[in-house]
Amino acid sequence: MSSTNTSIQSEIKTVENKTVKVPHTYIIIFFVVLFAWLLTLLLPVGKFEKTEVKYMVNGKEKTKTVVQAGSFQYEKNDKGEVVKKPAKLWGTEDFGGYGMLNYVFEGMVRGDKWGAAVGIIAFILVIGGAFGIILRTGAVDSGILKMIKITNGKEFLILPVLFVLFSLGGAVFGMGEETIPFALIIIPLVVAMGYDAVVGVLITYVASQIGFATSWMNPFSLAVAQGVSGIPVFSGAQFRMVMWAVFTLAGLLYTLRYAKNVKKNPESSIAKEATEYFKKNMKTDVEDVEFNLGHKLVLLILLLGIIWVVWGVTKKGYYIPEIASQFFVMGLLSGIIGVIFRLNNMTANDIADSFQRGAADLVGAALVVGMAQGILIILGGTDPGTPTVLNTILNSLSNVVGKLGGAFAAWFMYLFQSVFNFFVVSGSGQASITMPIMAPLSDLVGVTRQVAVLAFQLGDGLTNIIVPTSACLMGVLGVARVDWGRWAKWQIKMQLFLFALGSVFVLVAHFIGFN
């Protein structure tokens, strides 16, 4: 009997040794940066002319700087030869230009407080610190367990409600970065319900991006794309509402299927380590859970704070700086209540310590955001008016579209936008760069401009769920403690499913003359 057991154990170890481990996110990004560097050695640089266009959104005139179609030019030397500008192996902006080996630091200081790396990194650290204080009070754990006790086995109904709400958030006001703090609340909730951290990512960030991609009124991508394409802003809403409903239902069913499998067989989870982390750091005794006035006040502050955030985003246009400060206020007030009510024996020093630990927990996510931005720096940045390799790639892909026609051209526009989103993740940024080229091209190849915009919004939004250059995705995965490589290996199947569904809608829109 013992020899049989030894043989089985030996076979198990052999299988484990043969299992290919997914490379760490840092390793994957390094090789992508290396590939981008090699592209700069092989491809010439070029640029577009830029111009300003005006369009109307809800009765208000908006202005956007966009590229001029057909204005691409290669940079040439005195002999009339196209010029290559290889990125250096080493160097900073102050010393000869960006170098491949400087991508970490240069990526982290990219942008400003409203986005790119600097803003998102600061946002992640402040949010992490604020939630460190909130979680230190124990109110979230107690509230989660109390809710599970009240729902009494019906907590499975919570998943579809949250998925639809976050999808609506993406569709109505372009929810993206806002999902990071929500993930901090919801991931421990779903783990306590018997699921894993990935389910938390699916019902928050993934749901929001499905809504973002299929929106009929997204002010950050659809409005800009339609405005610069010369078609009425928010037109074609009925078709898009149907599309949103179909995609949301499809994404929800995909999520529920995974959630059911994980609950039935926890070993099938792709985030076992992350799930164990959350379980280890929260209370588990549902029957003896303490839920006093102090806990209720902290949760009330959290609820009122979330309402404040939603109001600020929808009514006042609050963005990263304001939202981060709102959550800091929530954390500070929660800490004060924790000290007054002695929640988990909190003291004033615990407020500072828990803020530091909360921020420290998300340093890894912040680093990934900076590293991913380094990819774009090596390619020369996203300014269409500066000679870069990225502009050359954009021009080459658009030329391919121009040689196609009919349904295949419409589908290739969708593929083109999906690929280009790796380089320019910003919805408004991608619309400003690509749509002034795609809109006139669509006229030439027999595709309506409305279909061209549809291809853009689907390609831009859906790939936000997988591209490592998305600071928001990397932030949410950091919160969930899920490595990007492992996420991508699992999510690629969902991505192909969504891409296929998107292809159906693009082709249907083309054949019905969606305009």
HEC-encoded secondary structure of 64-111: EEEECCCCCEECECCCCCECCCCCECCCCCCCCCCEHHHHHHHHHCCC
Quote the tokens at residue 211: 């809504």
Which band of pLDDT confidence, cut at 50, 70 and 90, is reported for residue 153?
low
Place of tokens 């269409």: 384
Q: Which of 215-224, 291-300, 493-502 is predicted least confidently?
A: 215-224
Give the pLDDT confidence of 100-125 residue by residue, as tens digits: 999 999 889 888 887 778 888 898 89
List of residues 6+ apart from 198 with CB closer than 8 A: 258, 262, 269, 270, 271, 480, 482, 487, 490
Q: Which has more pLDDT, 12 or 346?
A: 346
Quote the tokens at residue 182: 């929500």
Does 46 reside within a domain? no
Query: Cα(135)–Cα(132) distance, rounded to whole angstroms?
Result: 5
Give the pLDDT confidence of 33-48 residue by residue, as tens digits: 999 999 999 999 999 9
Is residue 334 predicted with pLDDT exceeding 80?
Answer: yes
Q: Are β-strands 73-74 and 60-67 bridged in parallel, bridged antiparallel, or unpaired?
A: unpaired
Q: Which has more pLDDT, 56 or 395?
A: 395
pLDDT for 67 equals 83
The CA-based angle 453-458-459, given to 5 degrees, is: 95
The CA-based angle 221-227-233, given to 5 degrees, is: 85
Which band of pLDDT confidence, cut at 50, 70 and 90, is reported for residue 155?
low
Query: Cα(414)–Cα(410) distance, rounded to whole angstroms?
Result: 7
The distance from CA 73 to its chain's CA centroid, rounded to whole angstroms, is: 33
Which band of pLDDT confidence, cut at 50, 70 and 90, is reported for residue 289?
low
Is residue 3 predicted with pLDDT exceeding 60?
Answer: no
pLDDT for 96 equals 66
Does 335 reside within a domain? yes
Query: Cα(402)–Cα(425) distance, rounded to whole angstroms?
Result: 23
Q: What is the DSSP string of 262-312?
A: HHH-GGG-S-HHHHHHHHHTS---STT----HHHHHHHHHHHHHHHHHHHI
Does 87 reside within a domain? no
pLDDT for 319 equals 80
Q: From residue 78, how far is each of 73, 81, 82, 305 by CA, in Å? A: 15, 7, 10, 60
Query: Cα(136)–Cα(358) distance, rounded to whole angstroms?
Result: 9
Q: Which of 79-88, 93-102, 141-150, 321-330 is predicted least confidently?
A: 141-150
Q: Which has more pLDDT, 282 or 397?
A: 397
Give the pLDDT confidence of 403-453 residue by residue, as tens digits: 888 899 999 999 999 998 888 888 888 888 888 888 888 887 889 999 999
List of residues 6+ apart from 48 with CB closer than 8 A: 67, 68, 71, 72, 73, 384, 385, 391, 395
pLDDT for 17 equals 45
Does 18 reside within a domain? no
Q: Which of 54-68, 195-209, 419-433 is predicted least confidently?
A: 54-68
Does 249 reside within a domain? yes
pLDDT for 12 equals 39
pLDDT for 287 equals 54
pLDDT for 397 equals 83
Which band of pLDDT confidence, cut at 50, 70 and 90, is reported for residue 288?
low
Distance from the first to the final alpha carbon of the chain: 73
Does 419 reside within a domain? yes
Query: Cα(131)–Cα(11) distance, rounded to whole angstroms?
Result: 44
Mean pLDDT, residues 68-76 taken together: 89
CA count, 13 A, side-chain hemisphere, 400: 14
Q: Which has more pLDDT, 7 or 111?
A: 111
3-class SS of residue 426: coil
Mean pLDDT, residues 443-470 taken together: 92
- Looking at residue 203, the DSSP 8-state letter turns out to be I
Report the DSSP beta bridge partners of residue 76. Answer: 82
Does 35 reside within a domain? no
Element containing residue 28 per DSSP (H, E): helix 25-42
Mean pLDDT, residues 362-374 taken together: 83
Q: Which of 71-85, 280-294, 315-329, 469-483 is predicted least confidently?
A: 280-294
3-class SS shares of the chain: helix, strand, coil, % to 5: 70, 5, 25
Average pLDDT, the chain: 86
Is residue 156 predicted with pLDDT exceeding 80?
Answer: no
Does 473 reside within a domain? yes
Q: Which domain holds residue 395?
A: 110-512
Report the DSSP beta bridge partners of residue 57. Answer: 60
Which of 135, 264, 271, 151 is closest to 200 using CA atoms?
271
Which band of pLDDT confidence, cut at 50, 70 and 90, is reported for residue 286?
low
Mean pLDDT, residues 126-150 taken together: 84
Quote the tokens at residue 322: 């304001």
Which of 361, 321, 254, 194 is closest to 313 using CA atoms?
321
* Contact (CB, 8 A) for 339 and 325: no
Which of 496, 499, 406, 497 is closest to 446 using CA atoms?
406
Which band of pLDDT confidence, cut at 50, 70 and 90, is reported for residue 328?
very high
Mean pLDDT, residues 301-319 taken together: 85
Is residue 63 predicted with pLDDT exceeding 80?
Answer: yes
The distance from CA 71 to its chain's CA centroid, rounded to whole angstroms, is: 32
Is residue 236 predicted with pLDDT exceeding 80?
Answer: yes
Which band of pLDDT confidence, cut at 50, 70 and 90, is reported for residue 284?
low
Query: Cα(358)–Cα(427) distance, rounded to whole angstroms?
Result: 30
pLDDT for 294 equals 94
Rg over CA atoms, the chain:
24
Q: How many domains, in total, are found in the chain?
A: 1
